Structure formats: C-alpha cells, structure tokens
C-alpha cells in the first residue's frame, strides 16, 4: 500500500517533510547550559498562537488527554463543582476524566451536533448563588461532530451571571488551524496537543494557563506529580525540564511555529476555511447532511457526515482504506456506523483535499450509495477555482 496518500482522519495529521526532517535530530544533553536556547523561545512563540500576553505556556510529554488531566489536577480539588456541556465524544471523555478525579460534575446534555450552550451556562451560573461552581469546561472544536463553539459567547454568559468560575477550553483540534483568542475570550486554561494543527508527531501536550489559573495551583489539592505545573514552571524558568524533555518534538515545534508564522496565522485560518468549505460543498452535492446543526457551528478542521439510512459508515471507511489506501475518521460514540468524518486540518492543500473527496466518492459508489460519481469533486473544484489564492505555502 502506498504511504504517499494523505490521511483524512482529524488527527494525528499529515506531517510536512520539512517538519519530519526538523524532528530527525540526534540526542543532545538537556542539562547542557545551552539547552535553554532550544527550549525557551518555544514558549514565547506558542503564546502568540494562543494569543495570550499574560498566560503561561506549559508543555508535557503526553497526548492531549494528558493536557486535560494537567489542567484539572493543578487547579481543582476533589469535590469541586465543575459545569460542562456534553455534545460529543470529546466533551464526554473530558467529563469522564473529571469524574475519575472525584470532581462534582454538573452535566448539561445537549444534542450531538449542537455547540456550547452559552444561554444554559448563564442560567446554571446565575442559579449558583453560593458560587460553588469552580470551572466551566468547553470543547472549542468537538472533533466527533465537527462543531465549533463560540467561546466569546460563553465568556459573556459567565460575565453576565457575574460568576467567578474559571473557563477551561479544549482547543486540541482548533489551535493553529482556527482562530483562538485566549486573552480576549478570558480563557483560564487552554489545552492543545502537537499532533493536529501543529502537524507533528503525538507526544507534546500544550497547556496555556492564565494568571488566575496559576494562582489556583496553590490551593488545588488533586493529586499530581508528573503533571505538576509548579515543578514544570520552576524548571522552565531555569531553562530546563523537571524530567527528560521530548527533545525531537521541541525541535519540531520550532519548525512548526516558523512554518505557521511564515504562512501567517490569518492565512492559515483562511486556508482551513477554504478547504472546509470545499468539503461542505461536496457533501451538499452528494445530498448528504453534516452532523453540525447550523452554519455558525461548522468546524473548519473536521466535517462529520451522516451516511444515508440503510448504510453503515464503518463499512465505508473500511472499504476506502482497503480498496484505496486512504483513511477517513469513523463515527464516534453515538454516531458509530452512522457517520464518517473528513479531517481537513494541518498540512493540506486544495489538491490533497480534492483527492480525499474523490476517494470517498469512489468508495461510496462501490457500495451503491445514491450519489453521482464526480458530483462532490466538481462542487469542490468550482469553489476552489473561484476562491484560489495560490500562495507560497500552498506551493511549498
């Protein structure tokens, strides 16, 4: 099977050769006096991606789930009340993590395909007259459903309820692909990972913590050791890591940040929007439906697409893999068998996305889906032709 085909799962994402090469470095001593020259610039550059001036960036050798655990255990204590809406597999898994840390999780169950319910958050917070709720948890981009939530609206709801809870945001599948504004949106803890928008191997959890969140570590009593913010911040201040750092990923992160800044963050977001819109045009040409309930919720990094009644989406993704050597995301949780996902984030161009649309179309036709071969491709081609702005990043 060819390993040249792009991958269309929503993470880990395709790695540009340039970033793979940047990670291919020999071991060097992380206790050497010049290690800080490698480590420290990474934090300042990551702050630009989170759009924070006052927050601290903290990294751990872990996947995004480790970032969730770090955010929770450093800032909360067992029994603390947290408010969270469940509208997909990732918000569900974050709830599970909180429950296993013995937090008192107040869950608002929403339809999968909807986004963070700012109005309901406001009601729950306003009703909490004793201010028992310590945190509001939001998944910015629900990767299971292809839904992007409005974080500014959640912050407004919290302010309108005059509630002091902190705002925790999972931006694992949005950061570095869609706009994220930590300071402007009043986010206290933001959690990301290296393997999605940053186009690197899995293995670096990236957390940004506001001053308020860093201060909360002093009274938070959830057990933590590996993920301790203070240990990490103290070591980082001296130019080091409290244990062995993921050296190759740190080199990769430098290259990734340079690549993102070279293209320009706004251009990166615009490219993701265009790629996503082409996919959405294809879905509509097939006569199929997105899981996301309305255009304001459409994610620019992943689309979850319901297959017609009577078809099994797992058969479709398996067939695309077996027959054509291309991976698409499966339906997760409640959506298993009913939807497949096209990941369109990271290192992708129009041409690559067109190949994905063409491939899933072939797989659908093979399985007798009621679609016309080429219809989705043509819809996306039309859109890409109209909106083409070939820049050096696309050509590179």
CA nearest 72: which of 134, 161, 123, 20?
Answer: 134
CB of 314 closer than 8 Å to CB of 166: no
CB of 103 closer than 8 Å to CB of 76: yes
CA nearest 320: which of 48, 1, 55, 49?
Answer: 1
- Which residue, 206 or 285, has its beta carbon nearer to ligand PLP? 206
Closest residue to ligand PLP, judged by C-beta, is 64
DSSP 335: G
Q: Least distance to ligand PLP from the beta carbon of 15, Å?
A: 15
Q: Least distance to ligand PLP from the beta carbon of 180, Å?
A: 13
CA nearest 210: which of 191, 223, 196?
Answer: 191
Q: Least distance to ligand PLP from the beta carbon of 72, Å?
A: 13
CA distance 131 to 84: 15
Phi then psi for 109, rounded to 5 degrees?
-85, 125
Q: Least distance to ligand PLP from the beta carbon of 68, Å?
A: 7
CA distance 25 to 23: 6
- Which residue, 236 or 301, has its beta carbon nearer to ligand PLP? 301
3-state DSSP assignment of residue 64: helix
- Which residue, 178 or 326, has its beta carbon nearer to ligand PLP? 178
- Which residue, 9 or 160, has its beta carbon nearer to ligand PLP? 9
Q: Least distance to ligand PLP from the beta carbon of 176, Å?
A: 13
Phi then psi for 345, rounded to 5 degrees?
-135, 155
Q: Least distance to ligand PLP from the beta carbon of 196, Å?
A: 6
Q: Least distance to ligand PLP from the beta carbon of 173, Å?
A: 4
Q: Where does this chain bind ligand PLP (CB under 6 A)?
A: 11, 63-65, 90, 139, 141, 143, 170, 172-173, 193
CA distance 62 to 106: 27
Give Cβ neighbours of residue 389 (< 8 Å, ≥ 6 apart): none
- Which residue, 63 or 75, has its beta carbon nearer to ligand PLP? 63
Q: Least distance to ligand PLP from the beta carbon of 341, Å?
A: 11
CA distance 316 to 138: 31
- Structure tokens, 192: 């990301």
Q: Find the helix or strand (DSSP H, E) in which 302 lies.
A: strand 302-306
Q: Least distance to ligand PLP from the beta carbon of 13, Å?
A: 10
CB of 340 closer than 8 Å to CB of 329: yes
CA distance 281 to 288: 10
- Which residue, 65 or 393, has its beta carbon nearer to ligand PLP? 65
Q: Least distance to ligand PLP from the beta carbon of 117, Å?
A: 17
Q: Least distance to ligand PLP from the beta carbon of 67, Å?
A: 7
Q: Which residue reads 């993701």 in tokens?
A: 272
Give Cβ neighbours of residue 294 (< 8 Å, ≥ 6 apart): none
- Which residue, 151 or 285, has its beta carbon nearer to ligand PLP? 151
- Which residue, 60 or 306, has its beta carbon nearer to ligand PLP? 60
- Which residue, 60 or 324, has its beta carbon nearer to ligand PLP? 60
Phi then psi for 372, rounded to 5 degrees?
-100, 125
Buried b (16+ CB within 10 A) or exposed e, 187-213: bbbbbbbbbbbbbbbebbbbbbbbebb
């Amino acid at each position: 099977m060819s390993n040249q085909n792009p991958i269309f799962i929503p993470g880990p994402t395709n790695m540009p050769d340039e970033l793979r090469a940047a990670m291919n470095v020999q071991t060097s001593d992380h206790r050497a006096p010049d290690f800080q020259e490698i480590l420290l610039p990474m934090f300042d550059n990551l702050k630009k991606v989170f759009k924070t001036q006052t927050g601290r960036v903290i990294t751990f050798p872990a996947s995004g789930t480790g970032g969730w655990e770090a955010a929770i255990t450093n800032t909360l204590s067992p029994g603390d009340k947290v408010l969270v809406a469940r509208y997909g597999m990732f918000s569900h898994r974050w709830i599970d993590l909180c429950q296993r840390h013995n937090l008192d999780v107040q869950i608002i169950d929403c339809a999968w395909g909807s986004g963070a319910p700012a109005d309901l958050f406001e009601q729950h917070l306003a009703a909490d007259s004793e201010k028992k709720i310590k945190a509001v948890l939001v998944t910015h981009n629900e990767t299971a459903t292809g839904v992007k939530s409005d974080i500014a609206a959640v912050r407004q709801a919290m302010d309108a309820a005059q509630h002091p809870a902190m705002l925790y945001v999972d931006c694992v599948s949005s950061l570095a692909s869609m706009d994220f504004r930590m300071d402007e949106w009043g986010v206290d803890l933001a959690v990301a990972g290296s393997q999605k928008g940053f186009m690197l191997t899995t293995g670096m959890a990236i957390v940004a913590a506001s001053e308020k969140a860093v201060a909360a570590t002093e009274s938070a009593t959830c057990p933590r050791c590996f993920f301790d913010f203070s240990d990490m911040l103290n070591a980082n201040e001296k130019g080091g890591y409290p244990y062995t750092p993921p050296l190759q990923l740190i080199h990769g992160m430098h290259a990734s940040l340079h690549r993102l800044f070279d293209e320009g963050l706004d251009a990166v977001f615009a490219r993701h929007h265009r790629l996503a819109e082409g996919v959405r045009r294809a879905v509509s040409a097939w006569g199929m439906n997105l899981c996301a309930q309305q255009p304001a919720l459409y994610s620019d990094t992943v689309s979850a697409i319901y297959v017609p009644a009577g078809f099994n989406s797992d058969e479709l993704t398996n067939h695309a893999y077996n027959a054509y050597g291309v991976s698409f995301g499966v339906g997760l949780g409640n959506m298993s068998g009913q939807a497949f996902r096209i990941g369109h984030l990271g290192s992708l161009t129009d041409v690559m996305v067109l190949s994905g649309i063409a491939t899933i179309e072939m797989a659908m036709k093979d399985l007798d889906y009621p679609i016309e071969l080429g219809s989705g491709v043509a819809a996306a081609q039309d859109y890409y032709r109209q909106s083409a702005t070939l820049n050096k990043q696309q050509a590179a």
